[in-house]
Structure 1
Amino acid sequence: MGDHLRTMLGLWPLKPVSEPHFHYWPGFERLPKGILLSGYWQSVRYFAPLADQLADIIKLQPILKTCDQSLVSRLSSGNTVSVHIRRGDFLKNPEAMAVHGIVEADYYDRARQQLERTVKPDLYCVFSDAPDVAKDMLSHWDRTLFIEGNKQQQDLALMSCCKHNIIANSSFSWWGAMLNRNCDKQVFAPRNWFTPEALKRRSLADLFPERWHTI
């Protein structure tokens, strides 16, 4: 823990509680109010009692009002799919790369093939922190729209507007899909969420909702 973080935590009025591991922790249910949760807390079991209320609790509408309204309308009204490709920080940070690894093009192609057989999307909306890489990776796709120039919170809100989601091994697009209010959404996620070595120390037992598809 760096000195700057120690200082921040010392001044922070809430007591920080770190998750003991990646999967669901039953002790969460006994935590008191007035604390700061530190970690991923990325298990669907934490949110199960509030699954139908998530989009009302985490309000994205104020963020969507700051976006291009013609884009919001296009993503919301069509049979659209958000596609998230994450590269930047994973490639630049060796420690992050050792834990997360990289999701390759084959995963995206296979997810698209399944969507083409089932819901037949009319537009794939691509979000990435490395747009040039994304354009090269998906150069053989048609019906694509590369979303660029937004703030991170705007991209997250726009992902949730799409009817379906192809996510990366990233909590960012995981939340974009979680906040998607389409009752018939098809969500595809990479089965290899972490590298093989990192998976020895982490469980994915309750990372994905039952209706999501893993590839």
Structure 2
Amino acid sequence: MLQHVVRISDGLGNQMFQYAFAYALARRTGAEVLIDPLFWGTSLRKYQLEKFKVTNTKRMVSRVWDYILGFGPRNGRRFKDGYRQFLIRKKYQLIKEKQVMCYDENLVSQTRPSFYMGFWQTPRYFEAYYEELKSQFVRKKNISVQALDYQKRIQEETSVALHIRRTDYVRQEGNAALGFEFYEEALHRMQDRLGAFQLFVFTDDKEFVKKNFKLREYVLVDKVCDLDEFELMRQCDHHIIANSTFSWWAAYLGMDKGGIVYAPCTGIWSQEFYPKEWNLIDTKTDI
């Protein structure tokens, strides 16, 4: 049987895009598609797909062998990477994504064993298997006790999730954080369409939001883990997402693909990145 491998890396949202690409590739071609989660012991990012009910879990490098290559709990970066380079040279042709957030038909019709390295961030790669993926991207464990109060409010009211991502986006050069102009416009349009609603703000920079977000009264989702935040965001009726794969997936997996969704169209975050049902607002990142 023809065999391919898809690299899994970076944060949760990126991991979900990579997994969705791998799953769709297997379903579409009938090939066996392995995954290759590659994370360093010193990295802030961790492999998180195992927290969900995913089915395609066979790895190119076994957990035990990866543990040995990593010297147990330590880093072992060059040994992990070196072993993978050896396997790729021996068994596969290496295919790297040429342009982010753009669909490439040729990538999913390879007749030679291939190792795919990229992010594959367009729903065109996996839209045909949406319901199957939605049933897999479900948490194995229930949300925490701390998150239950937020969940109750989200379910009782017309809820809108608003995501503000900063941390690694805020930098002197190449700042990728959105300005408040985008959120102001999105909230205005949401108000016109919904009337009254309860706003829930999700962010990785809570102190910044507390000090600076004055556009509307809101509930700040705080003191829960990132997977709880993801689940709570997903359960909201409607969404205003950031230029972030984290909130992209939370909206995409929500009811009716997020209900009414407003998303920023800026830089590389082009129209092909978003489902056709969503509403795009041309915007700029904060200066």
TM-score tier after normalising by the smaller chain length: 0.7 to 0.9
* 1:66–1:190 CA distance, 2 compared to 1 (3 A): same
TM-score by length of 1: 0.78
* 1:19–1:157 CA distance, 2 compared to 1 (3 A): farther
TM-score by length of 2: 0.60
Equivalences, count: 200
* 1:78–1:10 CA distance, 2 compared to 1 (3 A): farther
What's 2:219 paired with? 145
- Shift, 1:52, TM fit: 2.8
Q: Secondary structure at the match of 2:262?
A: strand
Given the alignment, which residue of 9, 16, 22 partners 2:81?
A: 9
1:204 partner amino acid: S
8 Å CA contact 1:87–1:130 kept in 2: the answer is yes
8 Å CA contact 1:64–1:72 kept in 2: the answer is no
Q: How does 1:86-105 map to 2 (within 5 A)?
A: 86-92=165-171, 98=174, 101-105=176-180
Q: Secondary structure at the match of 1:189?
A: strand
Q: Deviations over 1:154-194 (max 9, x none)?
A: 211211110111011111111111111246701111111x3
What's 1:123 paired with? 198
Q: Deviations over 1:28-76 (max 9, x none)?
A: 323589977543221010121112333202113x354335223223223
Given the alignment, which residue of 100, 122, 129 partners 1:43?
A: 122
8 Å CA contact 2:95–2:117 kept in 1: the answer is yes
C-alpha RMSD of matched pairs (Å) = 3.0
* 1:151–1:106 CA distance, 2 compared to 1 (3 A): same
What's 1:108 paired with? 183
Q: Unaligned regions of 5+ residues in structure 1, if any?
A: none
Given the alignment, which residue of 127, 134, 151 partners 2:209?
A: 134
Q: Secondary structure at the match of 2:126?
A: helix
2:277 partner amino acid: R
Given the alignment, which residue of 133, 154, 157 partners 2:228?
A: 154
2:238 partner amino acid: H
Larger radius of gyration: 2
* 1:113–1:205 CA distance, 2 compared to 1 (3 A): closer
* 1:119–1:5 CA distance, 2 compared to 1 (3 A): farther
8 Å CA contact 1:105–1:137 kept in 2: the answer is no
Between 1 and 2, higher relative CO (CA 8 Å, sep ≥ 6) is seen in: 1
1:73 partner amino acid: K
In 2, Cα distance between equivalents of 1:79 and 1:115: 12
2:246 partner amino acid: F
